[in-house]
Amino acid sequence: MIVKGKGQLTDIHNGVYMRIFFQKLFKLFYPPLPTCVACGATFTSLYPLAFCQGCLDRIPFITKPVCSRCDRPLRGGDRDPCRECQGETYYFEQAMAVAVYDGYMRELLHSAKYNFRPDLARGLGTILAVWAENETRLEEIDAVIPVPLHPEKLATRGYNQTELMAEPLAVALRRPLYTEVLQRVKPTVSQSKLSRREREENTRNAFAVVDCPAVAGKEVLLIDDIRTTGYTLSAAARALLVAGARRVKALTMAVGVTTEQWKG
């Protein structure tokens, strides 16, 4: 057995400290590449995005031409406004969306919502943030408000995925993010098995503004993860207008479209 003397131990300690010092110095000049929040791959990007190019390529982003009211893609002989918007009256002035609720975007949003992935929800917000750059329709926005969850649902899920998505967007827009101003006062049952009219009924009076001066006279941008019928956003917009907001616009990560609209 070799017993190391005190001097030898000091040499070993010095060696360890030097190695840690050089490792830190190296990281300072060559920081590790970010890893994709969805697939874990390391990547480089000119934008502050949380997704690698491979994942971005799988997202069904919306491309022009789109409906001027709801951003749904117009295909073939579709007229503007699209069929979904005709005959509907919403309390928001305009609804915008980044992607179609389909394929990989559907998987990501589902995971962000149900698989306890707050990191993925915030990561999706970086896509909203980059999308919002140079978006003229957002120039007049005074405040960003995510659609709130009912307190019971928030307690079960542990986080509001929409609030996390709105954070990087509010930073990019340099606008305040209000998370307490709008409250969901009525627990809404799951919308997926309801008819259109039942959905509208379900969301009516679901929201209330608890701080009217915060929104009075302002143009508000409402954020949600998914828009299907638009009734939830419309009910939230109505509550904001009643509280004195000047105008409400809506932006969602994804919008539901019929298969013929999207693939046709």
Which lies closer to Zn ion via its Cβ, residue 39 or residue 212? 39
* Amino acid letter, residue 144: V
The SS3 of residue 39 is: coil
| CB of 60 vs Zn ion, minimal distance in Å | 15
- The residue within the footprint of Zn ion, chosen from 33, 39, 189, 216 (CB under 5 A), is 39
- The residue within the footprint of Zn ion, chosen from 70, 209, 226, 254 (CB under 5 A), is 70
Which lies closer to Zn ion via its Cβ, residue 84 or residue 225? 84
| CB of 85 vs Zn ion, minimal distance in Å | 3
- The residue within the footprint of Zn ion, chosen from 50, 59, 66, 67 (CB under 5 A), is 67
Q: Applying CB under 5 A, which part among 4-12, 50-58, 100-108, 246-254 lies near Zn ion?
A: 50-58
Q: Applying CB under 5 A, which part among 18-26, 74-82, 124-132, 168-176 lies near Zn ion?
A: 74-82
Q: Is 66 in the site for Zn ion (CB under 5 A)?
A: no
**CA distances for 195 relative to 31, 83, 198, 246, angstroms:** 52, 17, 5, 31
* Amino acid letter, residue 84: E
Which lies closer to Zn ion via its Cβ, residue 123 or residue 146? 123
**For residue 245, which of 222, 226, 219, 209 has the smallest C-alpha distance?**
219
**CA distances for 46 relative to 26, 29, 34, 53, angstroms:** 22, 18, 12, 11
Which lies closer to Zn ion via its Cβ, residue 168 or residue 230? 230
Q: Are 48 and 59 in contact (CB under 8 A)?
A: no
Q: Applying CB under 5 A, which part among 36-44, 145-153, 165-173, 225-233 lies near Zn ion?
A: 36-44
Q: Is 52 in the site for Zn ion (CB under 5 A)?
A: yes
| CB of 48 vs Zn ion, minimal distance in Å | 15
DSSP classification of residue 161:
H
Tokens of 18: 């030097």
What residues does 61 pair with on adjacent strands?
Answer: 99
Q: Applying CB under 5 A, which part among 16-24, 31-39, 138-146, 240-248 lies near Zn ion?
A: 31-39
Tokens of 240: 């904001």
Restricting to residues 78-97, name those near Zn ion by CB under 5 A. Answer: 81-82, 84-85
Tokens of 13: 């300690």
DSSP classification of residue 217:
T
Q: Is 50 in the site for Zn ion (CB under 5 A)?
A: no
Q: Applying CB under 5 A, which part among 33-41, 141-149, 156-164, 172-180 lies near Zn ion?
A: 33-41
* Residue indicated by tokens 């502050």: 48
- The residue within the footprint of Zn ion, chosen from 50, 69, 128, 206 (CB under 5 A), is 69
Restricting to residues 163-202, name those near Zn ion by CB under 5 A. Answer: none
Tokens of 7: 């001097």
The SS3 of residue 87 is: coil
Handedness of CA 145, 63, 44, 101 (dihedral sign): positive
Residues at the interface with Zn ion (CB under 5 A): 36, 38-39, 41, 52, 55, 67, 69-70, 72, 81-82, 84-85
